[in-house]
Chains A and B, each alone.
Chain A
Amino acid sequence: MTAAAAATPMIRMSGVDKFFGPLHVLKNIDLEVPKGQVVVVLGPSGSGKSTLCRTINRLEPIDKGTIEVDGQPLPAEGRALARLRAEVGMVFQQFNLFAHKTIVENVMLAPVRVRGVAKDEARRTAMELLERVGIANQADKYPAQLSGGQQQRAAIARALAMRPKVMLFDEPTSALDPEMVQEVLDVMTTLAAEGMTMLVVTHEMGFARKAADRVIFMADGEVVEDTTPEEFFAAPKSARARDFLGKILTH
């Protein structure tokens, strides 16, 4: 990798504005995520953190500003955008596994249909990934037959099957029963340790402390703090961050 390539941030947002009708959900966001960094985005609900995550692969189009992924500006809707999305893995709050396909078919689908990988090779890779997230024995079941934690791990395997450059996690544990949160966080922690570039919107403070390189705190559509997890939890600078932490860490 040349110095210039290394310096190109994986994600770059500059001057990004987004409105939902009259509601200004993202206000002049500037953000750079270097390669290999694990960024956790925190903030009260309605702060725009999920929207921020969804603008990066253009599931939410923006009204102003620019977004670049690995130096390439986000294209408009069409083939070029589909190609870019293939490089950006995404994990959703509601898992969104394809309900009419088995787990292994879910994981194979995009490599076969988007990348043109041969079916048996895609199946081999899919099984390896399912093994990695610990649900290889569930491969031939349908999503509805799995627990939430298993479904979310399958969804992570499905995203990884495209060998993405960066992974976006949009509240990956918020829809899970408490006892299933850890198994998903474990998979994510491993992924972070392996050097994957990650942007994680979450309420899991434990994960932020343990796995994040950087914490971004959002409120009312703005980035209020951008710092290391140690500093953020020990000495938040803004009143809003102190207020937020006070509410979630006291009990």
Chain B
Amino acid sequence: MDFLSRYDLLGAFWVTVRLTVFSAIGSLVWGTVLAGMRVSPVPVMRAFGTAYVNLVRNTPLTLIILGTSLGLYSTLGLALADETSGTFLKDNNFRLAVLGFVAYTSTFVCESLRSGINTVPVGQAEAARALGLRFSQTLWIVVLPQAFRAVIAPLASVLIALTKNTTVASAIGVAEASLLMSEMIENEADKLFLIFLAIAAGFVVLTLPTGLFLGWVAKKVAVKR
């Protein structure tokens, strides 16, 4: 077992955690905006939301992540870090990966939220409009808070999927857990199953509590009708 101490497992998982957290926050924000667009009374917004979700949701994640690096950076020259800095490649790839995860995961957040919006009775929005609230206020103050509470459990599944999806970032050289795993397998081919187990255990440690905690939160904040 002590061969494990020759590798920076904690460091690699720390990158996984950071990828997950930043991507989750971004996906939550962008996914909420997308959901707002999809239920908006403005046809152009609805059309954009629908087109975006259907296009991105149905594209393989690997393609999107490679697209950020090969497309956005190598071809279009979009740099998300200071190019003169010594850690440019590392920072740029990390941020490009986050961008890709946000673009992708937000579509699932959007669709979860939209199903949550459907659980809010029509009368809630009617009462809000009848009181003089504008569309955006009705959405943000009355509908979305209730929709969010209804979809915490499905959002937990999205978050767990995202945590595991971060392994795709290894395709553009982000030093997260699975990239370290590849390196370990190359060096210690005889300990293959042990390495698998160690990495898998690391992911379970991250995702299991997330699921349990959010399941508890979902019960706690459920809207009683």
Contacts and interface: CB of A to CB of B under 8 A. Distances in A.
Interface stretch (B131-139, B180-188, B210-218): B131-139
Interface stretch (B17-25, B26-34, B101-109, B121-129): B121-129
Interface of B: 41, 121, 123-124, 126-134, 137, 141-142, 145-146, 149, 223-225
Interface of A: 57, 59, 77, 79, 82-90, 92, 94, 96-100, 109-110, 113-114, 142, 144-145, 155, 158-159, 162
A249 B127 CA distance: 33
A166 B145 CA distance: 30
Task: Across the A-B interface, give the 7 residue pairs with the lowest CB-CB distance, nearest first.
Answer: A86-B132, A96-B127, A96-B123, A144-B224, A110-B131, A90-B130, A114-B132
B130 A88 contact: yes
A93 to B, nearest CB: 9
Contacts of B124: 96, 98-99
Contacts of B128: 98
A85 B131 contact: yes
Nearest to A84: B132
Given A98-B128, A99-B223, A110 B41 contact: no
A196 B132 CA distance: 19
Given A99-B146, A99-B225, A159 B131 contact: yes
Given A59-B130, A96-B126, 17 more contacts: A57-B130, A59-B129, A79-B134, A82-B132, A84-B132, A85-B129, A89-B130, A94-B121, A98-B124, A99-B223, A100-B145, A100-B223, A109-B141, A113-B137, A114-B131, A144-B225, A155-B127
A151 to B, nearest CB: 11
A93 B225 CA distance: 15
B133 A97 contact: no
A155 B126 CA distance: 13
B131 A109 contact: yes
Contact of B127 (A82, A97, A114, A144): A97
Contacts of A90: 127, 130-131
A100 B130 contact: no
Contacts of A142: 224
B97 to A, nearest CB: 36
Contact of B130 (A85, A113, A144): A85
15 contacts: A57-B130, A59-B129, A82-B129, A82-B133, A85-B131, A86-B132, A88-B130, A92-B126, A92-B127, A97-B127, A100-B149, A100-B223, A113-B141, A145-B224, A162-B131
B134 to A, nearest CB: 5
Interface-centre pick from B41, B128, B225 (highest chain A CB count, 10 A): B128
